């Protein structure tokens, strides 16, 4: 027969270090003769767990037994007493919206590109939400407060509003996982209150492909670093940031390799060089020993506006990033290139995750032929 209430106050004082059982899973764990802590062994969801009940002798035997009895009662009612206590502690602390956002961000960092170091995940919230509402308790966030938060940017900055709403929804789900009393439908209700966003998609202006050869010939007559960088961007159809931060160590032979931290898809991307791209790199040698392919006079990466300003000064409406659309239109109308080759040339992922698991070629040689044809068109 299981013994109950084995310990007494006098006996507890006389016991040395170790585990001393009182019955029904309650035990006194003493680190030394004068101090210890109460623990209760429970079986929660088929797994044995231990729940702390306080320090001895601050918590008496009688109080420890009362706490153990309450935990066992919760367990009989289908409540995890350990999780319930943790949720109660969080409620007492009144977790703020800013704290909840930070905890959600930390939990999701592994999913974000470069562990979220660019700050894009937090940006919509740190700019538009946290400064004004960060001290609000997460449990007080309902559809009316969300409407108030997002209304100023709902129509004027629709993409930012969409991202902020998505992040807030994830934050509420994360808080619910802690056991906090939050409304998981608050975002959906707020969206109903705000209505549809007035959003007009604006594409980055691009140059018609028929005009690209004339523009490229004009560019060849400009000796500025920004002009050389823009030529390289057009020939490789890379993104602006990829060219701005390109380094000599990324070039090996006739291939430019961007590791996963440098690409939008967070996967390695190899770009084959055409003969014209090789000539651009040869001209680049006049810039000295810099590790950057296209450095400024202070050996820093050029700003994101440098190549754009070069085009603006000549009154072109098109922008550097738009040459990716110029290329894609030319490929579609002037070649019979397969879809996968066209998209891979732009650094896009093709197919589902399962398809990519089996199709592991990056079509490098086929893309080399395509980019050579593109260079021939530009210089022809």
Last-in-domain residue among 194, 226, 255: 194
Question: For the chain, give me the number of helices (H) and strands (E)?
Answer: 18, 7
Cβ count near 29 (within 10 Å): 15
Higher pLDDT, 302 or 88: 302
Residues 344, 347, 350, 356: is their CA dihedral positive or negative?
positive
Triad 276, 261, 365: Cα angle to 5°: 35
Q: CATH number of the domain at 184, please.
A: 1.10.150.130
Residue 264: inside a domain: yes
Range in 179-193, 292-306, 350-364 the model is least confident about: 350-364
Q: Do 146 and 282 fall into the same domain?
A: no
Q: Do 123 and 71 fall into the same domain?
A: no
Q: Do 84 and 98 fall into the same domain?
A: no
**Residue 32: which domain range?**
9-89
pLDDT single digits (tens) 307-334: 999 999 988 899 999 999 999 999 999 9
Cβ count near 219 (within 10 Å): 19
Q: Do 130 and 61 fall into the same domain?
A: no
Separation between Cα atoms, residue 309 and residue 226, nearest integer Å: 9
Residue 181: inside a domain: yes
pLDDT at 4: 75
Q: Do 274 and 318 fall into the same domain?
A: yes
Q: Do 15 and 47 fall into the same domain?
A: yes
Separation between Cα atoms, residue 249 and residue 87, nearest integer Å: 51
pLDDT at 289: 76
% of the chain beyond a pLDDT of 70: 95
Residue 71: inside a domain: yes
Q: Do 216 and 363 fall into the same domain?
A: yes
Q: Do 215 and 354 fall into the same domain?
A: yes
pLDDT at 1: 47
pLDDT single digits (tens) 108-130: 988 877 667 767 899 999 999 99
Nearest Cα to Cα of residue 71 among 57, 97, 94, 50: 50
Last-in-domain residue among 161, 194, 227: 194
DSSP string, 183-208: -TTHHHHHHHHH--------PPP---
Last-in-domain residue among 89, 121, 153: 89
Residue 2: inside a domain: no
Residues 352, 112, 184, 78: is their CA dihedral positive or negative?
positive
Q: Do 32 and 98 fall into the same domain?
A: no
Which long-range contacts link 106-115 to residues 24+ away (Cβ below 8 Å)? 107/174, 108/170, 113/261, 113/266, 114/261, 114/266
Residue 204: inside a domain: no
* Phi/psi of residue 208, nearest 5 degrees: -55, 140
Q: CATH number of the domain at 54, please.
A: 3.30.160.390
Structure tokens that stand for 132 in this block: 């004004």
């Amino acid at each position: 027969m299981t013994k109950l209430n084995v310990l007494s106050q006098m006996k507890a004082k006389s016991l040395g270090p170790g585990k001393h059982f009182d019955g029904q899973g309650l035990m006194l764990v003493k680190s030394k003769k004068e101090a210890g802590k109460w623990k209760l062994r429970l079986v929660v969801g088929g797994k044995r767990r231990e729940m702390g009940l306080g320090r001895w002798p601050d918590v008496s035997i009688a109080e420890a037994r009362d706490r153990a009895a309450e935990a066992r009662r919760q367990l009989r009612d289908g409540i995890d007493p350990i999780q319930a206590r943790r949720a109660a502690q969080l409620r007492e602390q009144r977790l703020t919206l800013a704290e909840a956002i930070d905890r959600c961000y930390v939990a999701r960092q592994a999913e974000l590109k470069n562990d979220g170091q660019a700050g894009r995940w937090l940006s919509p919230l740190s700019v538009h939400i946290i400064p004004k509402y960060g001290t609000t308790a997460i449990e007080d966030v309902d559809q009316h407060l969300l409407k108030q938060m997002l209304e100023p940017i709902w129509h004027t900055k629709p993409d930012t509003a969409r991202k902020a709403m998505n992040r807030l929804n994830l934050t509420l789900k994360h808080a619910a996982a802690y056991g906090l009393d939050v409304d998981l439908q608050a975002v959906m209700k707020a969206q109903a209150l705000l209505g549809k966003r007035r959003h007009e998609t604006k594409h980055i202006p691009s140059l018609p492909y028929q005009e690209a050869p004339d523009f490229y010939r004009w560019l060849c007559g400009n000796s500025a670093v920004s002009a050389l960088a823009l030529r390289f961007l057009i020939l490789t159809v890379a993104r602006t940031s990829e060219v701005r931060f390109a380094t000599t160590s990324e070039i090996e032979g006739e291939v430019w390799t961007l590791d996963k931290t440098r690409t939008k898809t967070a996967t390695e991307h190899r770009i084959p060089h055409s003969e014209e791209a090789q000539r651009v790199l040869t001209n680049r040698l006049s810039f000295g020993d810099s590790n950057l392919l296209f450095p400024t006079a202070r050996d820093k990466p050029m700003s994101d506006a440098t190549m754009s300003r070069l085009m603006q000064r000549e009154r072109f409406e098109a922008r550097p990033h738009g040459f990716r659309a110029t290329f894609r239109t030319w490929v579609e109308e002037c070649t019979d290139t397969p879809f996968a080759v066209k998209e891979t040339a732009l650094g896009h992922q093709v197919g589902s995750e399962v398809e990519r698991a089996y199709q592991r070629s990056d079509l490098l040689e086929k893309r080399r032929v395509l980019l050579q044809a593109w260079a021939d068109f530009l210089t022809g």
